[in-house]
Amino acid sequence: MSLGTTFLGLLEGHPQHGYDLKRSYDERFATKRPLAYGQVYATLSRLLKNGLVEVESVEAGAGPERKRYAVTDAGITDIEQWLTRPESPEPYLQSTLYTKVVLALLTGRPAEHILDVQRTEHLRQMRELTRRKTDGDLAEQLICDHALFHLEADLRWLELTAARLTDLAGEVSP
């Protein structure tokens, strides 16, 4: 997800100060890891330079001037194109876990142990996500469901790989 594109979408509703934009972003998308202010203003600076946002007004205050940013027509076009473009599925054709299993087999280490440890970690994360989902609002539930479905697919892969370890060892051994 592009931070700049997300900012454009948030600004399309109404112009905002950088502080308000950060708060809007953090509330909706970064509940566990808020954005740094430097990241917010660097992104706004890049959007401004690219003509996707403009400074609608500047307000004097006790500290530095507060700029209110508004999305431009070019920014609206950019967000519209991004929203209508399908995301490419992210297949894991070469994963770190697969590499670990193959290297364990090549070096005579117990690949079953790697799969067992990983299964335990996946189950731990699934329990944590299920707890978060139970305690969360609808947005948190949807995010947790997305992660849980991916972890379930990984668990199926772990089981399939464990069932095929003997065959895989025969194929990868020198």
Cα distance between residue 71 and residue 48, in whole Å: 9
> Residue 131 — pLDDT band, cuts 50, 70, 90?
very high
Cα distance between residue 86 and residue 107, in whole Å: 42
In this prediction, residues 44-73 reach a mean pLDDT of: 90
What tokens does 151 get? 């972890």
Comparing 89 with 101, the larger pLDDT belongs to 101
Q: How far is CA 106 from the centre of its chain?
A: 33
Q: How far is CA 163 from the centre of its chain?
A: 31
Residues 6+ apart with CB under 8 A from 120: none
Kindly list the distances between the CA atom of residue 64 and the CA atoms of 37, 42, 59, 67, in Å, as whole numbers in the listed order: 14, 16, 9, 9
One-character DSSP codes across 96-142:
HHHHHHHHHHHTT--HHHHHHHHHHHHHHHHHHHHHHHHHS-HHHHH
Mean pLDDT of the chain: 88
What tokens does 126 get? 């699934």
pLDDT value at position 94?
57
What is the value of pTM for the model shown? Answer: 0.65
Q: Are 40 and 22 in contact (CB under 8 A)?
A: yes
